[in-house]
Amino acid sequence: MIKLEAGNVLLKPSHKRQLMSWLRRALRIGERLGEFTLLITMRRSGKRCEVRASVHDSAGDFVCRSRQHDWRDAVRELVRALVNRLHAQQLGRAAIA
């Protein structure tokens, strides 16, 4: 499950679709782990945009954060960190089993 709290960042429907396409791989990995919930919060302060992702799954909880000038760059960086962290959890879980 994904929940997006855009805060004071204005996103058009096309931006939301773009965000979902970037998150596709993270969703697949999260579904394999089980009990996957993702909360994305976006805040703009001045010229910077901060994007934070709180993840809960059966392998554990963690938080990723990114701050950039553009919301697209911030989300792209966040998605990369998110996929890397989920992949590491998946590999760690496979090593235990």
pLDDT at 79 > cutoff 90: yes
Span 17-22, average pLDDT: 96
Contacts by 18-27, CB closer than 8 A, 24 or more apart: 18/72, 19/75, 22/75, 22/76, 22/79, 23/79, 23/82, 25/83, 26/79, 26/82, 26/83, 26/86, 27/2
Span 5-31, average pLDDT: 94
Whole-number pLDDT of residue 16: 94
Domain boundaries 2-96, CATH class? alpha beta
Q: Tens digit of pLDDT for each residue in 32-62?
A: 999 999 999 999 999 999 999 999 999 899 9
